[in-house]
Chain A
Amino acid sequence: MFPSRYWREIPQRYRLEAAKCTGCGKVSFPPRSKCPKCGGVEFDEARLPEKGVVKTFTIIRVAPSQFVEQAPYAVGIVELEGGVKITAQIVDCPLEDIKIGQKVRIEFRRLQEDGCSGVICYGYKCVPAL
């Protein structure tokens, strides 16, 4: 992972910065220059809601090299309050307990270590919510 590539996404990965279209209200994550719903170009700053539900998920058994020591691990598509969907790992629970429809919330975690450039990568993961 090139450090500059990692650095550019920090506002989203660390602070969940999103953009809300002033025209139609659609929240884009990551922010975009053009609203995918109405084509609008003006946005208000927004932050992703931290609560959501698991729409679907899988258990990764055969992992890419930077994730090998974590395998097996769960990755899901989570629909956050307000409708934005994200792809994120689901952690802090037994793999067999994860269900579609389960409530989760976002936490800030260490994601991967990249062997080549030594960059330690952080970001959001989901954990079960009561």
Chain B
Amino acid sequence: MRDVAVIGVGLSEWGELWKRSLREIFVDAASAAIADAGVDRIDSMYVGCMSGGLFVGQEHLASLLSDYLGVASIPACRVESACASGGVAFRQGYIEVASGMNDVVLVGGVEKMTDVGGDGATYALATAADQEYEVYHGVTFPGLYAMMANEHMSRFGTTREQLAHVAVKNHRHGAMNPKAQYPFEVTVEGVLKSVLVADPLRILDCSPITDGAAAAVLCPLDMAKKLSKKPIVRVVGSGHSTDSIALHDREDLTELAATKRAAEKAYKMAEVGPAEISFAEVHDCFTIAEICVIEALGLVERGKGGTAAESGLTALGGRIPVNTSGGLKSKGHPVGCTGIAQIVELTEQLRGESGKRQVKGAKRGLAQNMGGTGGSTTVHILEVE
């Protein structure tokens, strides 16, 4: 396998973009990544998207997006693994460059979620759970994570306030991110007074509905060293794992076994452990998710995730800053795009381009992206040369 570098990254505008279409925001992000990379060609493309079909009535994104990006004729493929679509697309591109099959591969993610309204979005998102044995009974995605929260609280003593601290921290980070959809701070009281969605989760525990796209350009490390004037960001670890689609089919409801397995593979490949990670972007679709994920990644001990945000451990300036971009919570969560947007944040941090939210001395970053209640997970570790 060849060593692979992330040579360029780009984001579209994020938010409720009534006037912009899926194809337009994708081309914005991809063009930004290509310009950032300084490459004059794309050999191949993977695009993560959870549900073009349900959100905008459009499938066959491989043809649509290669056409509108002006690269029709290259091999292209849409990748779907619910909210982990972006992370899986990144991994496919990584494998293609590492294998030697192609040199310059564009990996993107896009989701256009606001055309369908709240009920349509709830329906589309729920297809990431078991339609016949979970959704049929009236459970929603916030409901599934709420059940994880209740189990974590009853088993480990995690408190309602500790969940709120995750939102407070991520909004504090997001307020320093000009690309964030909700770049403002929230307070613990504000979270605790917000509308209940599925007990104990309130609306400010949930990531928003977002239109957005992100892209990255991958190439062999040797080529990156010749082409790029920026610090070289190398992919040093990649892990990917699946688990049961239904939460109730897991022996342990809050362990996130797929995240654990994907992380073990990525750490082993990178020859590092959790203690050697400088910062992480993780899948905080709900506040409880960040708590369970940092435990599964080994950044904190099992059952101790609740105190991490409150104590400042996972805040900027803490031992292991988590979600410096604002996370899904504040930056926004265009579902199939999120995994690539995490790679954008990692790359910018490692190059020292993150402005007010820069992690000092960022050497090695980790991105964890998951679909459903954890039925699909990717973990990637990136390092600056």
Interface residues of A, Cβ cutoff 8 Å to B: 5, 9, 30, 36, 55-65, 67, 70, 73, 75-77, 85-89, 100, 111-112, 121, 123, 125
Q: Is the CB of A63 within 8 A of B138?
A: yes
CB distance from A108 to the nearest CB of B (A): 13
Q: Is the CB of A62 within 8 A of B198?
A: yes
Point out which of B122, B139, B246 has the most chain A C-beta atoms below 10 A from its C-beta: B139
What are 8 A-B pairs with beta-carbon distances under 8 A? Answer: A5-B132, A9-B132, A62-B142, A67-B138, A77-B253, A87-B139, A89-B137, A125-B137
CB distance from B211 to the nearest CB of A (A): 21
Inter-chain CA distance A85–B134, complex, in Å, is 11
Closest to A79 in B: B248
Could you tell me which residues of chain B, from 143 to 202, have a CB within 8 Å of some CB in chain A? 143, 146-148, 150-151, 154, 195-201
Inter-chain CA distance A56–B253, complex, in Å, is 9
Inter-chain CA distance A57–B122, complex, in Å, is 19
Known: A64-B122, A100-B154. A86 touches B140 (CB 8 A): no
Chain B residues with CB below 8 A from A62, complex form? 122, 140, 142, 197-198
Closest to A85 in B: B248
Known: A64-B119, A65-B119, A87-B247. A56 touches B138 (CB 8 A): no
Q: Is the CB of A70 within 8 A of B150?
A: no
Closest to B134 in A: A87
| Contact among A60, A64, A65, A87 with B248 in the assembled complex (CB-CB below 8 Å) | A87
CB distance from B270 to the nearest CB of A (A): 31
| Contact among A63, A88, A121 with B140 in the assembled complex (CB-CB below 8 Å) | A63
Chain B residues with CB below 8 A from A67, complex form? 138
CB distance from B316 to the nearest CB of A (A): 32
Closest to B139 in A: A75
CB distance from B173 to the nearest CB of A (A): 26
Inter-chain CA distance A78–B253, complex, in Å, is 12
Chain A residues with CB below 8 A from B249, complex form? 36, 85
CB distance from A30 to the nearest CB of B (A): 7
Q: Is the CB of A57 within 8 A of B147?
A: yes
Known: A64-B123, A100-B150. A75 touches B136 (CB 8 A): no
Q: Is the CB of B150 within 8 A of A75?
A: no
Closest to A8 in B: B132
Q: Is the CB of B138 within 8 A of A58?
A: no
Chain A residues with CB below 8 A from B119, complex form? 64-65
Inter-chain CA distance A57–B199, complex, in Å, is 9
| Contact among A30, A56, A89, A111 with B147 in the assembled complex (CB-CB below 8 Å) | A56
Task: Indicate if B133 sits at the interface (CB-CB under 8 A).
Answer: yes
- The tally of CB-CB contacts under 8 A between chains A and B is 94
Digit string of B74-94 for contact with A (CB within 8 Å is 1, else 0)?
000000000000000000000
Closest to B254 in A: A56
Task: Indicate if B126 sits at the interface (CB-CB under 8 A).
Answer: yes
Chain A residues with CB below 8 A from B200, complex form? 58
CB distance from A5 to the nearest CB of B (A): 8
Closest to A86 in B: B248
Chain A residues with CB below 8 A from B150, complex form? 56-58, 100
Inter-chain CA distance A15–B136, complex, in Å, is 16
CB distance from A64 to the nearest CB of B (A): 6
Digit string of B189-233 for contact with A (CB within 8 Å is 1, else 0)?
000000111111100000000000000000000000000000000
Q: Is the CB of B138 within 8 A of A111?
A: yes
Inter-chain CA distance A56–B146, complex, in Å, is 9
CB distance from B315 to the nearest CB of A (A): 28
Closest to B151 in A: A56
Q: Is the CB of A30 within 8 A of B148?
A: no
Q: Is the CB of B151 within 8 A of A100?
A: yes
Point out which of A63, A87, A88 has the most chain B C-beta atoms below 10 A from its C-beta: A87
Inter-chain CA distance A116–B133, complex, in Å, is 21
User: What 9 A-B pairs have minimum CB-CB distances, sorted nearest first?
Assistant: A58-B146, A85-B248, A56-B151, A59-B199, A56-B147, A67-B138, A58-B198, A75-B139, A77-B248
Closest to B131 in A: A5
Chain A residues with CB below 8 A from B197, complex form? 61-62
Point out which of A36, A73, A86 has the most chain B C-beta atoms below 10 A from its C-beta: A86
Known: A55-B253, A60-B198, A87-B248. A76 touches B147 (CB 8 A): yes
Q: Is the CB of A58 within 8 A of B151?
A: no
| Contact among A56, A59, A75, A86 with B148 in the assembled complex (CB-CB below 8 Å) | A56
Inter-chain CA distance A62–B143, complex, in Å, is 9
Inter-chain CA distance A58–B137, complex, in Å, is 13
